[in-house]
Amino acid sequence: MKSCALIAAFNEEETIAAVVAGVLRHLADVVVVDDGSTDRTAERAAAAGARVVRHPQNRGKGAAIRTGLAQVLAGPHSHVLFIDGDLQHDPNDIPMLLSAGERTGCDLVIAERAFAKGSMPTARFYSNRIGSRILSAFIGTEVADSQSGFRLARADRLRELHLTATGYEIETEMLIKLARRRASLCRVGIAARYQGSRSRLRSVRDTFRTCMLAVRYRYLSGR
């Protein structure tokens, strides 16, 4: 396995250096797409050792992921590790994803947070539970954390996809389109982290939008 990490970041100057440094303890290559940040995200990511690609203005997480994939998939990497830049994901969990990918040969490994009611914002708890059940029905296999952006995917399977999402629904589009191609999926459990991190996901609105787009990705869109 030769893996490259891809991080879509927007105004993450407080955390991006720690994320990049944490990833580089496990992988040799990190690409950060600075999605039009107005702070020092790009500078701090580069100083920490990442290759940085910049959008001149904010275009959304999905657009940033697609820009990053164009860079990463042009190279010799066998896998792409997706991780957020806000420290909601612990880079120390990366070996679990790499081990699962190598051991099982799965096309997609999803890191699923252990949710407990009362330990996370109520709206996020219910929106993720509902969204995960709906998405599981669409793809025909159980997914317990549909909003997880922490995942490892085979590069050759990603090259098959034509991704169009511009926002947070990029993870749903990727999952559904891989499932349509009978890609194999496995899951690893990680701890949920909320202290010291923030999320720009608007739980109810973004989950509803993602579910509606899931219908399009499953039944109406092309490859």
C-alpha span between 108 and 154 (Å, rounded)? 7
What value does the mean pLDDT take over residues 90-107? 96
Number of independent structural domains in the chain? 1
- The answer to whether the CB of 45 falls within 8 A of the CB of 11 is no
Query: What's the confidence (pLDDT) of residue 208?
Result: 62
Query: The domain containing residue 84 runs over which residues?
Result: 3-220
pLDDT in tens, 50-69: 999 999 999 999 999 999 99
Confidence label for 196 from pLDDT (cuts 50, 70 and 90) = very low
User: Which two structure tokens, joined as six digits, stand for 122?
Assistant: 């109520």
pLDDT digits (tens, 9 = 90+) for 140-178: 676 656 678 899 999 999 999 999 999 888 888 888 889
What SS3 state is found at 141? coil
Give the pLDDT confidence score for residue 10 in this predicted structure: 97
SS3 call for 118: coil
Give backbone dihedrals phi and psi of 127, rounded to 5 degrees, phi first. -65, -40
List strand residue ranges (DSSP E) for the chain, in order. Answer: 3-9, 30-35, 51-55, 79-82, 108-113, 151-154, 185-190
Tell me the per-residue pLDDT of 26-48, one tens digit each, with 9 for 90 and over: 999 999 999 999 999 999 999 99
Residue 109: pLDDT band by 50, 70, 90 thresholds?
A: very high
Over the chain, what is the mean pLDDT? 84
Residue 68 CB contacts under 8 Å (≥ 6 apart), including other chains: 6, 7, 8, 31, 33, 53
CATH of the domain at 210: 3.90.550.10
Q: Give the angle 116-122-124 at the CA atoms, nearest 5°.
A: 85
pLDDT of amino acid 4: 98
Stretch 214-221: mean pLDDT: 58
Question: What confidence category does residue 124 fall into, taking pLDDT thresholds of 50, 70 and 90?
Answer: low
Residues 6+ apart with CB under 8 A from 43: none
CA distance 152 to 109: 5
Q: Would you state the pLDDT for residue 7? A: 98
Q: Is residue 193 over pLDDT 70? A: no
Residue the block writes with tokens 């109406």: 220
